[in-house]
Amino acid sequence: MKKARFITLEGIDGAGKSTQMSRIEAALDSLGIGYLVTREPGGTPLGEKLRDILLHQDMHPETEALLMFASRAEHLSSVIRPALEAGTWVISDRFTDASFAYQGGGRGLDYGKLAMLEQWVQGTFRPDLTLLFDVPVEVARKRLMKNASLDRFEHERDAFFGRVRDAYLDRAARFPERFVVIDSGAPPEEIGERLEEVIATLCL
């Protein structure tokens, strides 16, 4: 049996990740792959409590980064690694690239400090595939405005999301071996086909 893969979904708030998740699940189902879907911050009972704090409580940017990685440490040890070892693929709605994009790009935290946390929590562990759903900030903003209640991140200004988007695109250019950038504004059928194609190559 082929080694289980770890796939992450990234993008600025309002990039349409949730819509894309169902397409990814359909692609995995059609290939007969066993998988679990999880998210960050969150994915464990402790992580979900941390998520609630992170999304609603104001805090220092370093505290924010540390809590993101605390949630990740728990997630990795109790969900992600055990699932992959058991042969189950793991699809996570966000992972460490979000910390570099939001805490690094958005909040301006030192990338070196984030890289230290990444090394501490993950060692050399990285996603096999990172799907970056890319969308202009104005388009994402329009989508977000349809939500009844916005969290602490979604309340940020367009300039913040511009920096987050740039940081994501920089990482995609730096790690082309695992990143695939998908234009969220492309026709749905085109996105669906692209996702099926990319996921199928992971099975080879």
Q: Kindly list the residues in this chain that would bind ligand TYD in the complex (CB under 6 A).
A: 13, 39-41, 68, 93-94, 98-99, 102-103, 151, 153
Coarse DSSP helix, strand, coil percentages of the chain, rounded to the nearest 5 percent: 55, 15, 30
Q: Which is nearer to ligand TYD, 33 or 105 (CB)?
A: 105
Query: Which of 96, 101, 55 is closest to 75 using CA atoms?
Result: 96
Q: How far apart are CA 131 and CA 29, in angstroms?
A: 18
Q: Which is nearer to ligand TYD, 33 or 130 (CB)?
A: 130
Q: Which is nearer to ligand TYD, 81 or 143 (CB)?
A: 143
Max CA distance (Å), the chain: 47
Least distance between ligand TYD and beta carbon 184 (Å): 13
Q: Which is nearer to ligand TYD, 35 or 102 (CB)?
A: 102
Q: How far apart are CA 53 and CA 177, in angstroms?
A: 34
Which residues does 152 contact at the CB level (< 8 Å), separation at least 6? 54, 55, 56, 57, 58
Least distance between ligand TYD and beta carbon 27 (Å): 20
Least distance between ligand TYD and beta carbon 71 (Å): 8
Within 10 angstroms of residue 103's Cβ, the number of other Cβ atoms is 25
- For residue 92, report the phi and psi dihedrals to the nearest 5 degrees: -115, 125
What are the tokens at 21? 């998740």
Q: Which is nearer to ligand TYD, 25 or 151 (CB)?
A: 151
Are 31 and 200 spatial neighbours (Cβ–Cβ below 8 Å)? yes
Least distance between ligand TYD and beta carbon 77 (Å): 16
What are the tokens at 70? 């605390």
Least distance between ligand TYD and beta carbon 46 (Å): 15
Q: Which is nearer to ligand TYD, 7 or 68 (CB)?
A: 68
Least distance between ligand TYD and beta carbon 157 (Å): 13
